[in-house]
A and B are shown apart, each in its own frame.
Chain A
Amino acid sequence: MNSLILLLILVFGGALLSYLLNKFLPILRDGFVVLLMLLVNYVFFTMDSATQIEFEIGGIHLQWAFSSAAFLFGIIVSILGLLSITYSTAYMQGKDRLGYFYMNFLFSIGSMLGILMSRDLISLFFFWEIMTWSSYLIVIYSGKDVDKRGLKYIVFSAIGAYSMLMAIVIIYGFTGSFLLTDIFDSIFAIKASYQLAIAILLMIGFGVKSAMMPLHVWASGAYSGSPMSFTALFSGALSKMGVFGFSLVLFNLVSNQNWLINEIIAWLAAITAVLATFYAVIQSDAKKLLAYSSIAQLGYIVIGLASGTYLGVMAGLFLAVLHAVFKGTLFMAVGAVEKQAGTTDMTKVSGLIRKMPWTFTASLISIIALAGIPPLGGFVGKWMLYEALITSDHYYLVIMVFLSSTAAFLYSYRILFGLFLGQEEPEFAHVKEAPLPMLIPMLLLSGISVLSGTFPGFILEPIQNAMVSFGFDPRLPNIEWWQLSVLFNSWGDKVVLQNVMISITAVFLIALTLITWKGYKKQRYVTTKDISSSGEIIQAEDNMTFQIDFYKPFERAIWPLLKRKIDDYYTDFGNGLEALFDLVKRIYNGNGQFYAIYVMAFLALLLIAGTKYFGF
């Protein structure tokens, strides 16, 4: 049997089966979904790269194939899918409608794999819609303010879907084919204005999923409102489908000479990154914070892709993989806090580090990777992005990225401090470490963050294969992945990752040994109430927590930027439409007398105009 079909049957069949299992044999459900995803991973990673299948439905020629770009994004989907499903088995414990949840979960994994494998626009659109719907059904799973979050998500997804459909129709009208290979060959023959229209329409379609400004307003609500186990996949993998689509458009449908599109996209992405970071800084709910931070990180990815240089695209794709890794971990960690402590509101919960040390470790590593601090993987991506932008003369874009990533330190610290550090409150004294099925995925993912900081080769190789399929020349030295530790920019400057790692580890270990060894036995632990406070003695009931208005001075400094949200513009647009409809309603007011006047007026107008211009 063709392993492509097998893969899709496995996921989609498994989705339906898990629904039935939940009905009749709920005890087997958790084991089943994990085993299923293991099997999916096995099939995915053993798949022959030449696998493809063609068939016809209703006279339309469809083609599914396995490309190297599909493999790159497929790695994210299948591994993150497996880990987040494993996490789900503990995280969703005791919640109802689990059949519904797992079915939609598996549907979205399957549809993502389908998107990656479709080589024609019809099946791409078909799987895209399944992905939208299955994720929508999970967004509204909790049932809380569905009309606000759910509606926003589905409306924006619908806008994206319609513009995609329009683009598909235009493409078919000109090229007479839905197959991507045909389209890539003939797209440059059609008129430039139509090319532009196609590109913009497709960008809107993909831009919605990758939360690009001004299409991002759904993301914060949808990310923070779904169960965290799904959000890990939602932000980590599902948004990458937008990135995958972007790469299709930018490298295959837009000619390289069209730098204007690239510039506009890059600047939109940069503004997205800066504003979303600022919003993330002022959030006080950890979920919301991570949601905005996801929007910002997707901005970096798109900047990298839009820069169009070898290093830039590599940086974008590397950050795409890394974002799935560390943001997946962070959403899982926040989910663990939510599960164990009952809330993710950082003004309430604090000081969990001693209760949940492993969750803290995983979040710490992921935050270091997110902030792009050496020696972890995030730094590799950031370094490549900066170098790519500088060497391709995008100086002001570099500043935007830098502003955004420096401000990202603020929310990075905020989330660690808010949840894990700070005063230990007695009301959270009962909190226990998260169960193993939740811990293991987090720790595995943070292991990838660490490994990719020194040995990025194992991610860079599949990326390079994907880039070759986009038309870039391979530039990585032809060595094994664990030997690749020196990164070059196009001016020949370099960073040697292994030296960085060795230096940091050596100094850290020596300093840690010295400071621990000196007076180790005499030191004892004291609580967070036992602190210096200018001579006052702090009582157990005194509130020494500092969590509210955490970055107030910063907020004051950036206030002019945050005064108006994009959301407001949409609300204004909605209000404007309502006013327009109001006007229409006033004209068509249902009164027969008025209609008679309209007819008379129209006739009079016709008469005047007719005698004047047409002479009858």
Chain B
Amino acid sequence: MNTILFQLSGALATILLAFTVGMFYGGIRRKIIARIQNRVGPPIYQNFLDVIKLYSKDTSIHHGAMQHMGPVFAITASITSLMFIPVLNGDGWFWFKNLNFSGDLIFLVYMMVFGSLGMALGAGQTGNPNSAIGVTRGLSQMVGYEIPFVMSMVALMAQFHTTSITGLMNIQMQENTWLMFSNPFAFIAAVLAMLGMFHYSPFDIVHAPAEVASGPVSEFGGKYLGLMMSSGSIFAFVKLTLFVDVFMGGAANLIELVIKTFALYLIPVLYGVVSPRYRTEQAITYFWKWPLFFGILAILWASF
């Protein structure tokens, strides 16, 4: 009983941590974009206010069961992926152990697409053509960035003969190095893929405000949008933590984790803020040029 309570409270703490960090990062991003565009911008806690507002609003319509469940799928995927990602390395803080030892990288890659597919189904039932267009764009783009991402992951797995994240982290602890230096090409390919993964400009074709009226989310308001925003924040944390764990040796404590994830987070944000949006096919083929090349190099590097 004690252990179940212990695990549940650990899980809750992890979720809360991910939510808070993700929300603040979103707020900071808004601030950065505003400053670069020479505006004052909202305060960095603005996203919290937004979520609270959205949860407290009444939702009076729905388009059917699938739409109702779409955001639920999204948050299920975010939280489940979070449960399988080691937050801190070594014995760091045993409380955050969750289900770290029950899945590996391949599982995680699949778990991470679960949410977008569920969300896509929800958006589909609303019947809004903009939603469907956004979904087709998102899925097409996924085929683009998943390839270099998986190539860099395969390169790491091949190089160190383990497919588990904890295995990769232990190797970094033992050899006292970061994998971004052990296999630099894998890191480059993964970071380029990360640009697409975050759906920030220039890869913001899914939500594309001026084109498809915010795409898949256009029929979701109130509690649905609130749930989706929470899910998005948690998911951003999941992605960043995964990259830190795999490439930057994980983090020994929460402060180190925040510093490392924030440094990584700045890459898509700063790259996006100065880049105009791609067309959809450009956003797909972008990943099949240099990122793919670096992915192939990474695998070659790993196998020789």
* Residues of chain A having any CB pair with chain B under 8 Å: 351, 353-354, 357, 364, 368, 371-374, 379, 382-383, 386-387, 390-391, 393, 395-396, 398-399, 402-403, 406-407, 409-410, 412-413, 416-417, 421-424, 489, 491-496, 499-500, 503-504, 507-508, 511-512, 515-516, 518-519, 522-534, 544-546, 550-551, 553-554, 556-557
Cβ distance B25 to chain A, nearest Cβ, rounded Å:
22
The 8 A CB mask of B129-140 against A (1 = contact, 0 = none) is 100110111011
Interface centre among B64, B99, B101, B279 (most CB of A within 10 A): B64
A403 touches B147 (CB 8 A): yes
A410 touches B163 (CB 8 A): no
Question: Besides A406-B143, A544-B127, 10 other CB < 8 A contacts?
Answer: A351-B127, A353-B64, A395-B158, A413-B120, A494-B164, A508-B76, A551-B136, A553-B279, A554-B136, A557-B281
A424 touches B127 (CB 8 A): yes
In the assembled complex, which residues on chain B have CB atoms less than 8 Å from the CB atom of A546?
129, 132-133
B173 contacts the other chain (Cβ, under 8 Å)? no
A491 touches B162 (CB 8 A): yes
In the assembled complex, which residues on chain B have CB atoms less than 8 Å from the CB atom of A516?
68
Whole-angstrom CA separation of A403 from B139 in the bound complex: 13
Given A372-B110, A396-B299, A557-B281, residue A406 in contact with residue B227 (CB < 8 A): no
Interface centre among B114, B132, B133, B295 (most CB of A within 10 A): B132
In the assembled complex, which residues on chain A have CB atoms less than 8 Å from the CB atom of B128?
528, 531-533, 544
In the assembled complex, which residues on chain B have CB atoms less than 8 Å from the CB atom of A494?
102, 104, 164
Partner among B111, B137, B213, B299 whose Cβ is within 8 Å of the Cβ of A395: B299
Given A403-B147, A494-B104, A499-B99, residue A511 in contact with residue B76 (CB < 8 A): yes
Whole-angstrom CA separation of A309 from B69 in the bound complex: 40
B107 touches A500 (CB 8 A): yes
A416 touches B124 (CB 8 A): yes
In the assembled complex, which residues on chain A have CB atoms less than 8 Å from the CB atom of B224?
515
Which residue of chain A is the closest to B116 with respect to CB atoms?
A409
Q: Among residues 140 to 192 in chain B, which have CB atoms less than 8 Å away from a CB atom of chain A?
A: 140, 142-144, 146-147, 150-151, 154-155, 157-158, 161-164, 167
In the assembled complex, which residues on chain B have CB atoms less than 8 Å from the CB atom of A556?
281
Selected A-B contacts with CB under 8 Å, 6 pairs: A398-B150, A403-B143, A421-B127, A528-B128, A544-B127, A554-B140
B285 contacts the other chain (Cβ, under 8 Å)? yes
Whole-angstrom CA separation of A550 from B134 in the bound complex: 11
Interface size grouping (class) on chain B = 35 or more
A399 touches B154 (CB 8 A): yes
In the assembled complex, which residues on chain B have CB atoms less than 8 Å from the CB atom of A529?
127
In the assembled complex, which residues on chain B have CB atoms less than 8 Å from the CB atom of A413?
117, 120-121, 124, 135-136, 139
Partner among A495, A500, A512, A544 whose Cβ is within 8 Å of the Cβ of B72: A512
B99 touches A503 (CB 8 A): yes
* Residues of chain B having any CB pair with chain A under 8 Å: 55, 58-66, 68-69, 71-73, 75-76, 79-80, 83-84, 99, 101-104, 106-107, 110-111, 113-114, 117, 120-121, 124-129, 132-133, 135-137, 139-140, 142-144, 146-147, 150-151, 154-155, 157-158, 161-164, 167, 213, 218-219, 223-224, 227, 279-281, 284-285, 288, 295, 299, 302-303
In the assembled complex, which residues on chain B have CB atoms less than 8 Å from the CB atom of A364?
121
Whole-angstrom CA separation of A396 from B147 in the bound complex: 11
In the assembled complex, which residues on chain A have CB atoms less than 8 Å from the CB atom of B146?
402, 406
Whole-angstrom CA separation of A417 from B125 in the bound complex: 8
Given A395-B158, A491-B163, A512-B72, residue A410 in contact with residue B143 (CB < 8 A): yes
Whole-angstrom CA separation of A353 from B122 in the bound complex: 12
A519 touches B127 (CB 8 A): no
Given A413-B135, A500-B103, residue A523 in contact with residue B60 (CB < 8 A): yes
B213 touches A410 (CB 8 A): no
B161 touches A495 (CB 8 A): no
Given A373-B110, A395-B299, A557-B281, residue A500 in contact with residue B127 (CB < 8 A): no
Cβ distance A417 to chain B, nearest Cβ, rounded Å:
5
A390 touches B127 (CB 8 A): no
Given A409-B117, A525-B62, A526-B63, residue A390 in contact with residue B76 (CB < 8 A): no
In the assembled complex, which residues on chain B have CB atoms less than 8 Å from the CB atom of A387?
106, 163
In the assembled complex, which residues on chain B have CB atoms less than 8 Å from the CB atom of A423?
127, 129
Given A351-B127, A534-B213, A546-B129, residue A406 in contact with residue B147 (CB < 8 A): yes
B103 touches A496 (CB 8 A): yes
Closest 3 CB pairs of A and B: A528-B127, A553-B280, A421-B124
In the assembled complex, which residues on chain A have CB atoms less than 8 Å from the CB atom of B63?
525-526, 528
In the assembled complex, which residues on chain B have CB atoms less than 8 Å from the CB atom of A374?
107, 110-111, 114
B104 touches A493 (CB 8 A): yes
Whole-angstrom CA separation of A546 from B134 in the bound complex: 11
Which residue of chain B is the closest to A350 with respect to CB atoms?
B127
A422 touches B61 (CB 8 A): no
B125 touches A421 (CB 8 A): yes
Partner among A493, A511, A515, A518 whose Cβ is within 8 Å of the Cβ of B164: A493
B147 touches A515 (CB 8 A): no
Partner among B158, B227, B288 whose Cβ is within 8 Å of the Cβ of A511: B227
A532 touches B139 (CB 8 A): no
B132 touches A422 (CB 8 A): yes
Whole-angstrom CA separation of A379 from B106 in the bound complex: 10
Whole-angstrom CA separation of A11 from B79 in the bound complex: 51
Which residue of chain B is the closest to A560 with respect to CB atoms?
B285
A353 touches B163 (CB 8 A): no
In the assembled complex, which residues on chain A have CB atoms less than 8 Å from the CB atom of B295?
399
Cβ distance B72 to chain A, nearest Cβ, rounded Å:
5
In the assembled complex, which residues on chain B have CB atoms less than 8 Å from the CB atom of A496?
99, 101-103
